[in-house]
Amino acid sequence: MPLIFVATPLGNLRDITLRSLDALRDADLIVAEDTRVARRLLSALDLPGRELASYREQNAAAATAKILERARTQRVVVVSDAGMPGISDPGSELVAAARPLGIEIEALPGPSAAIGVALLSGFDLRRFTFEGFAPRTASARRAAFERALASGCTTLWYESPKRIAATLRDLESVAPNARLFLLREYTKRFEQQILGSPAEVAGALPDPPRGEIAFALEAAPQAEPRAPTLAELEAAIDAALAAGERISSIARRLAAAGAGERSELYARASARKAAAAGRSTG
């Protein structure tokens, strides 16, 4: 029987999928991060009276074996409080433990705040990374943001409303002109979208901030590599020739480094070699 991971609505109950409803309705056991939250959701979906079991970081070691034993012979559905289980929520450990036992695993597509904030940011998403929750200490946050800004790609983060003000201050201290997009209370009645610098985003948040928060951080602009001057280029060619490097190799290597077109570099290296040979025989 399968172990089925079901994404639950972040706020708007209409975001539940038909397949997710089927899985919850047919489940022999529903494993939830917080059984109280799951019970309220099931009641709202007109699916009361389901058998529930708790699975969270604090009890994962003890609960995993019991859950997988049920999954051998019954349909077990795993949910988090909101969104996709296993993404900054309990669940991924169950997958890792189920694989060696040959238990079938399914993951039904559904709501994800990380993907939502990525799309709504408008930032370049040809490559991006999900960083999860920002580190808890100021020094670790600043270091994480420095790495993210230098990574060359958009990074996606979650943050607690209790820590978001401090997190934005740390980001501002590292890069006051950084661009970020913050999404608060995604899919809920008071959803808020803010684009701007760390200070601008902080100023637009309610005081105190409430609700679930995700944000996307745009990578710092990458400086274009500086083309070498003619003197620098000729010095590099002369050094390579003196070391015995072949002209074709010099041209290929310098072209790959952005020093110019390979054919032009080949011609220049050939001329430098000929000039050096003429001086040695003169």
Query: What is the CATH number for 158?
Result: 3.30.950.10
77 and 25 share one domain: yes
The stretches in the chain having pLDDT less than 70 are: 222-225, 280-282
- Specify the pLDDT at position 197: 97
In a domain, 254, yes or no: yes
206 and 266 share one domain: no
150 and 198 share one domain: yes
In a domain, 168, yes or no: yes
- Specify the pLDDT at position 259: 87
pLDDT tens by residue, 192-220: 999 999 999 999 999 999 999 999 999 98
131 and 66 share one domain: no
Starting at the edge strand that comes first in sequence, how are the strands of the sheet with 154-159 ordered?
Answer: 128-133, 154-159, 213-217, 180-184, 192-196
Instruction: Name the β-bridge partners of 83.
Output: 8
174 and 125 share one domain: yes
15 and 107 share one domain: yes
User: What domain range includes position 129?
Assistant: 114-217
Which CATH number characterizes residue 34's domain? 3.40.1010.10
Structure token pair of residue 191: 């959803």
- Specify the pLDDT at position 169: 97
Starting at the edge strand that comes first in sequence, how are the strands of the sheet with 76-79 ordered?
Answer: 52-54, 29-32, 76-79, 2-6, 104-108
In a domain, 224, yes or no: no
181 and 262 share one domain: no
Q: 11 — phi, psi (to 5°)?
A: -160, -55
- Specify the pLDDT at position 198: 97
> Residue 47, class by beta-carbon neighbours within 10 Å (0-12 exposed, 13-18 middle, 19+ buried)?
middle
80 and 124 share one domain: no
For the chain, the domain total comes to 3
Query: Are 42 and 23 in contact, with CB atoms under 8 Å apart?
Result: no
